[in-house]
């Protein structure tokens, strides 16, 4: 990645986490990065585009952590269970360690145009995470542990079912409460995949 683009992303993330996405301007990002506003627009079409790139970085970091965790599991069921649980808790930890992180998730939801999952390409913020879940599900289907017809529909439905566990979820939930509550939906998903 180009040094200027990297610097812009680093400074944008700092500003977003301090002031929030909505209150941070492209002018402020440019100034913090030591570049002109026009330079920012050479790399990004909008502030939402910057947020999207930052989301890809964060998702890739989470994906790397998830790979490390699921690698230790043997069965597809356990891999899926650990994958979902770890993803939910990683998102919770990120949001609770950064005052304005929930704002970033809001902007991502609004800036979804390039995040559609299509047949052979995994584009957008959740690309690596979608790829990992797809691999787990397909491996489970291959070993007759999971039953499903349409992988993309399944992933879409799982994402929809899990949305209440992702930011901006109720900040009143502690990590321990979220850990317990997520077991319920994970059990439903696993049971549904076995029928």
pTM (two decimals) = 0.74
173-192: pLDDT as tens digits: 788 988 898 899 899 999 99
1-23: pLDDT as tens digits: 689 999 999 999 999 888 888 89
pLDDT band for position 32 (cuts 50, 70, 90): very high
Q: Is the peptide bond before 168 cis (omega within 30 degrees of 0)?
A: yes
Structural domain includes residue 147: yes
- Which one has a higher pLDDT value, 168 or 147? 147
113-163: pLDDT as tens digits: 444 433 333 355 567 888 889 999 999 999 999 999 999 899 888 888 877
Boundaries of domain holding 74: 56-98+119-194
pLDDT at position 175, please? 86
Structural domain includes residue 82: yes
Structural domain includes residue 1: no
Structural domain includes residue 161: yes
CATH number of residue 126's parent domain = 1.10.357.10
Structural domain includes residue 50: no
Structural domain includes residue 2: no
58-110: pLDDT as tens digits: 778 888 888 888 888 889 999 999 999 988 888 888 777 777 777 776 666 66
Q: How far is CA 22 from CA 18, 32, 106, 166, in A?
A: 11, 17, 10, 20
Judge contact between 170 and 96, C-beta under 8 A.
no
Name the domain count of the chain. Answer: 1
pLDDT at position 39, please? 96
Structural domain includes residue 125: yes
Structural domain includes residue 83: yes
């Amino acid at each position: 990645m180009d040094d200027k683009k990297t610097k812009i992303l680093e400074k944008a993330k700092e500003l977003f986490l301090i002031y929030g996405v909505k209150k941070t301007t492209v002018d402020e990002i440019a100034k913090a990065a030591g570049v002109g506003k026009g330079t920012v627009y050479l790399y990004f079409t909008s502030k939402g585009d910057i947020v999207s790139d930052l989301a890809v970085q964060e998702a890739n970091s989470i994906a790397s952590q998830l790979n490390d965790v699921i690698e230790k599991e043997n069965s597809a069921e356990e891999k899926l269970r650990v994958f979902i649980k770890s993803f939910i808790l990683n998102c919770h930890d990120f949001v609770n360690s950064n005052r304005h992180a929930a704002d970033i998730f809001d902007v991502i939801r609004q800036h979804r145009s390039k995040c559609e999952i299509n047949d052979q390409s995994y584009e957008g913020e959740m690309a690596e995470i979608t790829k990992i879940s797809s691999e787990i599900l397909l491996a489970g289907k291959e070993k007759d542990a999971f039953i499903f017809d349409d992988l993309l529909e399944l992933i879409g439905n799982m994402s929809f079912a899990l949305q209440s566990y992702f930011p901006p979820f109720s900040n009143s939930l502690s990590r321990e409460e979220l850990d317990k509550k997520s077991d319920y939906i994970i059990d439903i998903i696993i049971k549904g995949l076995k029928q």
